[in-house]
Amino acid sequence: MPRVVLAIAAAPLLMLTLIGCKANPPGKAETAVVNWAKHKMFVHNKKEKNPIQNTPAGIADGREAFSHYCAACHGLDAQSTGVPFADRMSPPVPSLAGMDAQSYSDGQLKWIIDFGIWPSGMPGSKGMLSDDEIWSIVLYLRHLPPAGSLGEPQMYTQ
């Protein structure tokens, strides 16, 4: 009998603890699930290969295209250098040199740049940038310079 009483008394406590957990910021497990879903379900075009040749000129083209538009949020180095609001966006602007971004296939990166990631702040660029420009950006993302080595985007330093 006392055991049953104990169990009944413990139940609301347990529930309170569970509810308490819910109010916390997304934990590791939740983030892992979202990342898994992004990689496996939402982001298509896994198999398409980059038609731009892996040459210094191709990478330079990508760096140039990236600096016009993407750099406003991602920094010239794609690692958020000099972007004043990078941490304050929700979700924050991620470093594109990090494991999460680099573990996409080339085709998936192309797809993300074409269509963006809804509903976050990452916009789609299809129609604004040509396919060649986008593929050269994908090549650039595979050859990123050390963080900070390209300085800050001009738009924030003037």
The footprint of ligand HEC (CB under 6 A) covers 69-70, 72-74, 89, 91, 93-94, 96, 100-101, 109, 112-113, 117, 120-123, 125, 137
Task: Find the shortest distance in angstroms from Cβ 103 to ligand HEC.
Answer: 8
Query: Nearest Cα to 75, choosing from 154, 143, 140?
Result: 154
Task: Find the shortest distance in angstroms from Cβ 4 to ligand HEC.
Answer: 48
Q: Which is nearer to ligand HEC, 10 or 155 (CB)?
A: 155
Burial (CB < 10 A; 0-12, 13-18, 19+), residue 97, is: middle
Q: Positive or negative CA dihedral for 66, 123, 158, 151?
A: negative
Task: Find the shortest distance in angstroms from Cβ 153 to ligand HEC.
Answer: 11
Task: Find the shortest distance in angstroms from Cβ 86 to ligand HEC.
Answer: 8
Q: Which is nearer to ligand HEC, 10 or 34 (CB)?
A: 34
Rounded to an integer, what distance in angstroms lies between the CA atom of residue 131 and that of residue 54?
16
CA distances from 38 to 103, 108, 118, 147 (A): 11, 10, 11, 25
Query: Nearest Cα to 79, choosing from 27, 28, 153, 131?
Result: 153
* Residue sitting closest to ligand HEC (CB): 70
Task: Find the shortest distance in angstroms from Cβ 7 to ligand HEC.
Answer: 43
Rounded to an integer, what distance in angstroms lies between the CA atom of residue 107 and that of residue 122?
17
Q: Which is nearer to ligand HEC, 10 or 142 (CB)?
A: 142
Q: Which is nearer to ligand HEC, 93 or 144 (CB)?
A: 93
